Amino acid sequence: MGNLDIIRKKGKLSPTDVIFLAKGILNILLQGFLTLQVMLFVLSPAVFYIREVYAIVNTSTYFLIYCNFWLTFWLSAHYCTTITNLSYGFFIWIKRIVSNFPSRLLFLTALGMFIVSVPGCWAVYEESPLQSSGNSTGVPGISIKIIQIISYFVSANTVGCILPFCLSLLCLVLTSSFLLRHVWRVKNNDSGSTRPNLQAHVTALRTIFFLLLIFTFFCGSQVLMIIRKSTTFSELIPTISWTLRLLSTSLEAAVIFQASNKLRRTILRRFWTRSWRNTET
């Protein structure tokens, strides 16, 4: 709402605000699709494992996940290039693109992840358990098995998950090393000229770290679902996995809230104004 107020007044959003706005929208949609998956999985597994329903819901969820992971990288890259001022050609290009064309960058990211995700609708099919050795649904009374084309899902997860995670981790390492050198120089030179920016740098670093930590928890929940058949707690693992997925979106919203001073000011101003009006009446 705060960003829409700025846009309505013909103001210009910063690249960080644009990325936060996009991540917030994706977060809401992802929470909705994950909740839908859980409801179908628990209340109506027969409907959940219909090929068309499973493929569409699963593909839409993966599309949102891939976009969210890439937005994490673009945010990490923006923080990294802004704080470190690296002179390498790749980082200069990243800084120019993120700073000058954030909306186009997010559109191209969504388009690319859409192209990567859509084949997932055709990479899933169903078979009788007597005819296949694929992954069983594990739902009593349902005689189908969901078969996923491994080559596609390995490629899609590499592009949508592993690549942005590695790039975000690189940005985290570069930003951390720069801040450590920055603190060391400030301490040895005993100069306070650069200290006011240190808190903002630490907030950016903390944001990248927590987003990557949530990233890891989410991927871990996916791994748990894959290995559940080889463990003695196969009935408990889906509950843990779905809980981690649902919590990750809420935790990411909390990270975005603590990372954006403008968002905190907007929400607190609206909250206190409304409370004050209620008190007066």
Q: Is residue 148 part of a domain?
A: yes
Q: Is residue 269 part of a domain?
A: no
How much is the pLDDT for 130? 35
Q: Is residue 3 part of a domain?
A: no
Whole-angstrom distance, CA of residue 78 vs CA of residue 89: 15
Q: Is residue 273 part of a domain?
A: no
Q: Is residue 200 part of a domain?
A: yes
pLDDT by residue (tens digit) across 102-142? 889 999 999 999 999 888 777 665 543 433 334 444 444 44
pLDDT of 253 higher than 60: yes
How much is the pLDDT for 205? 83
CATH number, domain at 256? 1.20.1070.10
Query: 227 and 211 in contact (C-beta within 8 Å)?
Result: no
Cβ-based neighbour number of residue 159 at 10 Å: 18
Structurally, the chain folds into a number of domains equal to 1
Q: Is residue 279 part of a domain?
A: no
How much is the pLDDT for 142? 43
Q: Is residue 125 part of a domain?
A: yes
pLDDT by residue (tens digit) across 172-218? 888 888 888 877 776 676 555 445 467 777 888 888 888 888 888 88
Q: Is residue 281 part of a domain?
A: no
How much is the pLDDT for 139? 47
Report the predicted TM-score, pTM, of the whole model to 2 decimal places.
0.78
How much is the pLDDT for 12? 76
235, HSE (Cβ side, Cα atoms, 13 Å): 2
* Mean pLDDT of the 249-260 span: 83
pLDDT by residue (tens digit) across 8-63? 666 677 888 888 888 888 999 999 988 888 888 888 878 877 777 878 888 888 89
Expressed as residue numbers, the domain containing 184 is: 11-262
How much is the pLDDT for 234? 65
**Strand boundaries in the chain, DSSP class E:** 124-127, 135-136, 145-148
